[in-house]
Structure 1
Amino acid sequence: MLPAAAPSLPSQARRRTSLRDPATALRVALAAGWLVLALTTVLVGQRPASLEDLRAGIKAGEITEVRVSEGLEPGATGYATQAVVWRDGLLGHRTEGWQLSPGVDAPSGGEPVLGPDLAGELRAEGVSVLPLADRSAHSEVAGWQVPQQVGLLLFAEWVVTLFLLVGGPVPERATRWAWFWLNSGPFGVLAFLLLSGPFPGVPAPRPGARRLTGGWAFLVSLVLGGAYLGAS
């Protein structure tokens, strides 16, 4: 049976919130970096979507321009992978599938069939179709496709946060193992940076409050992870 909580930290162990404290300054810097990278992911990243989502947006008048990658050469037979990218408001979306020449079956794998001439079909619907210079290297971040540089910076942010968790001051509100499991979620890193120790504008935990333990945090991370995947 999992314990409900870990012993609390002594009240006198609570450090004052000061950027002169190296651990506090590092938390603030990492939190600012996380927010910048999260905003960058939203602005330049592409969420997976379906061809039905694209057509619904076109029908509603919300999408008037798309970018389509090169597919089969003119007159060629067979199949090729084709990508379509569009923006709906501030968010970028992306769908990929097979471009097939007439009489050719799609390979197995579950990817959708976009048709023999998707670009022509979209132009016929009044949509502006531009060529897509697809990025050669990219990373997947919580379902978003982002430039590889953004993915590497996010990974570096997570590594430095992990070093702070392991080698920094004893964290507040949860044990080290608890924060480790919570950090596996898309917003766990930010929660750790804001709540594990002194942070400007964030009140301290009440004196004598007990901390979340690793076992319960593991269960919480499973529930939150399942809810996030179900909503995405």
Structure 2
Amino acid sequence: MAVDTSPSLNPPGRRWWSVLRAVLLAMWLLASAASWWSAPRPASYAEAKAAVAEKRLTAYQWGDSWDTQVSHLIWFDGAELTSTGTIGPLFVWRTGDGRVRWTDTEKFDEVTVNGAVAENDYSGPGATGLAQDLVAAGVADRTGAVDTTGPWLAGAGLVLALLVLGVIVAGPAPVLGTRWFWFWLTLTAPYGLGLVFWLLRDRPWSRTARPALGADGRQRRDRGFLGLLIGILASLLVSALVLVLNMALGDWWVPSGTSPY
């Protein structure tokens, strides 16, 4: 009886990396979609008043500035609303479908102050007027933290980052770039794009990756400095692309986040 002794085209080790790559890509896609859905989108003062009057909010929060100092290592972390003094002028609310909207109450057309709330507690007449509307609509008790990303979303980014770091440090050596190349690229490229590039291009994820050879016959791999440079350039290009697409398509498709329109 003849026995096939040829090596398997999909040995157990390779199958494991294929499964892990599919899991990581699925996590990245889900987290990216959730991050896009819940990204803070600017709204007008009139839109905020309408949302309050029609009770189209599940939670709201006051603040005076956005903290946008976000680490790329946790790719899906978002801006945090901060408050240091009086209430306002920023008003943020979450809708029933999980969307986050915000407005600057210093930009309004007309406000009538009726004494329903303590005017001195708020940053200006716009914030006071909106607070009055909250009381009139019976939704003033819905105050609470409005996170631009849920805990599971930030956690997903952390899990992805830790897995990637573990594979870079202790996994099979890549052949197209050094470990430092992929470390800097996944760290600095925005939105986890460096991770996606690695998953599709190099070992242990790609079965077709083959080392490039120089004229002297020695293996050539992209170095760490190149990964850092590509990551920085990708950040600049993606930021510019997001700005252009936001201007062309609007906040529904490409949210501008904490930048007022």
Q: TM-score range by the shorter chain?
A: 0.5 to 0.7
Matched residue, 2:170: 167
8 Å Cα contact 1:31/1:190 also seen in 2:
yes
Q: Distance in 1 between matches of 2:19 and 2:98?
A: 32
Distance 1:28 1:172, change over 3 A: farther
Q: Distance in 1 between matches of 2:144 and 2:209?
A: 48
Identity %: 19
8 Å Cα contact 1:173/1:211 also seen in 2:
yes
- RMSD of Structure 2 on Structure 1 (CA): 4.6
Q: Which amino acid aligns with 1:37?
A: A
Q: Which amino acid aligns with 2:22?
A: V
Q: Deviations over 1:84-121 (max 9, x none)?
A: 2367x9964445778x9657895xxxxx9953213668
Among 178, 181, 199, the alignment partner of 2:181 is 178
8 Å Cα contact 2:177/2:222 also seen in 1:
yes
Among 79, 86, 92, the alignment partner of 1:84 is 92
Q: Which amino acid aligns with 2:235?
A: G
In the alignment, structure 1 segments of 5+ residues that lack a partner are 1-14, 59-63, 72-77, 107-111, 123-127, 139-144
8 Å Cα contact 1:173/1:212 also seen in 2:
yes
Matched residue, 1:208: 212
Alignment of 1:56-95 (within 5 A): 67=57, 69=60, 79-81=86-88, 83-85=91-93, 92-95=100-103
Q: Which amino acid aligns with 2:212?
A: G
Matched residue, 2:129: 117
Matched residue, 1:146: 149
1:176, CA displacement in angstroms? Answer: 0.9
Matched residue, 2:39: 46
Q: How high is the TM-score relative to the length of structure 2?
A: 0.53
1:178, CA displacement in angstroms? Answer: 0.9
1:154, CA displacement in angstroms? Answer: 1.5
Which deviates further from its counterpart, 23-32 or 160-169? 23-32
More strand by percentage: 1
The size of the alignment, in residue pairs, is 188
Q: How high is the TM-score relative to the length of structure 1?
A: 0.58
8 Å Cα contact 2:45/2:103 also seen in 1:
no
Matched residue, 1:8: none
8 Å Cα contact 1:171/1:197 also seen in 2:
yes
- SS of the equivalent of 1:30 reads helix
- SS of the equivalent of 1:84 reads strand
Please say if 1:221 is aligned against 2:231.
Answer: yes
Q: Deviations over 1:120-154 (max 9, x none)?
A: 689xxxxx996655347x4xxxxxx2012221221
Distance 1:57 1:105, change over 3 A: closer
Q: Distance in 2 between matches of 1:221 and 1:113?
A: 45
More helix by percentage: 2
Among 7, 19, 26, the alignment partner of 1:25 is 19
Q: Distance in 1 between matches of 2:132 and 2:122?
A: 21
Q: Which amino acid aligns with 1:180?
A: F
- SS of the equivalent of 1:31 reads helix
- SS of the equivalent of 1:69 reads strand
Q: Distance in 1 between matches of 2:163 and 2:138?
A: 42
- SS of the equivalent of 2:153 reads helix
Q: Distance in 1 between matches of 2:102 and 2:144?
A: 11
Matched residue, 1:189: 195
